[in-house]
Amino acid sequence: MTTKPRTATVARETTETQVTLTLNIDGEGNSTIDTGIKFFNHMLALFAKHGKMDLEVTATGDLQHHLVEDVGIVLGQAFVEALGKKTGIERYGMSFVPMDESLARAVVDFSGRPYVVLHVDVQKVRVEDMQAEDFKHFLESFGLNAAMNLHIELLYGENEHHEIEAITKALARAIKQAVKITGKGIPSTKGRL
């Protein structure tokens, strides 16, 4: 295991949002989430639990779209800070997760080269108290700001709640695998990520 704590606290304040986030990659899966959006809170708590990371988020904003997007930005920045030089990490992770009738796949590479591919056809509907399409903006913002390759595919599903939950859990489990310390050096022939 690593001796240096892999933690970060990042804040973002704009004329639209105020976000404060604390991440401990090597946590227990504990979370304290307050975004004012119950469904989004639930997804972030699931992300922490299934990724075995501790996560604290406090966020307010003018519009739901701005708030969800900015939480994604800050979460990505927190991963960059907490991972540092990425010494010894597995780097790649992949997970398939079912949620009742839905199945999602997430594949990640903490390469330092941001690229996001989403094959996620969520409808323009509300899931509980959140617009489903805003979740896609969260994923895009997170992947780009974490400087990772992020590929997510919703293979099938019918219920948007189940689809988004399967995606969230698959992403968390793929990240858990990718950030695991399995070596001593940088996992790249370039000598850096």
**In the chain, how long is the greatest CA-to-CA distance?**
46
What is the mean predicted confidence (pLDDT) over 126-154? Answer: 96
Predicted local distance difference test score (pLDDT) of residue 189: 82
pLDDT at 1 over 50: no
In a domain, 188, yes or no: no
Predicted local distance difference test score (pLDDT) of residue 119: 96
What is the mean predicted confidence (pLDDT) over 157-166? Answer: 95
In a domain, 15, yes or no: yes
Interval 62-108: pLDDT, tens? 999 999 999 999 999 999 999 999 999 999 999 999 999 999 999 99
Shortest CA distance to 149 belongs to which of 181, 108, 177, 93?
108
Which of the four pLDDT bands, split at 50, 70 and 90, describes residue 2? very low
Residue 9: count of CB within 10 angstroms of its CB: 14
Is beta strand 115-119 parallel, antiparallel or unpaired with respect to 149-156? Answer: parallel
In a domain, 110, yes or no: yes
Q: Which letter does DSSP use for residue 181 in this model?
A: B
In a domain, 168, yes or no: yes
In a domain, 58, yes or no: yes
Count the domains in the chain.
1
Cα–Cα distance, 129 to 22 (Å, whole number): 24
In a domain, 190, yes or no: no
3-class DSSP string for 98-144? EECCEEEEEEEECCCCCEEEEECCCCCCEECCEEHHHHHHHHHHHHH
Provide the mean pLDDT of the chain.
95
* The pair of three-digit structure tokens given for residue 99, joined into one six-digit string: 């949620």
Predicted local distance difference test score (pLDDT) of residue 24: 98
pLDDT at 44 over 80: yes
Interval 163-180: pLDDT, tens? 999 999 999 999 999 999
Predicted local distance difference test score (pLDDT) of residue 192: 84
In a domain, 70, yes or no: yes
The helix-helix angle for 132-145 and 38-51 (nearest 10°) equals 40
Q: Is 50 helix (H, G, I), strand (E, B) or coil?
A: helix
- Residues sharing a CB contact under 8 Å with residue 105, sequence separation 6 or more, in sequence order: 94, 95, 96, 152, 153, 155, 170
Interval 125-135: pLDDT, tens? 899 999 999 99
pLDDT at 4 over 90: no
pLDDT at 10 over 80: yes
Per the structure, the complete domain to which residue 146 belongs is given by 7-178
In a domain, 191, yes or no: no
* Helical segments of the chain, H only: 38-51, 64-83, 132-145, 160-178
- CATH of residue 27's domain is 3.30.230.40
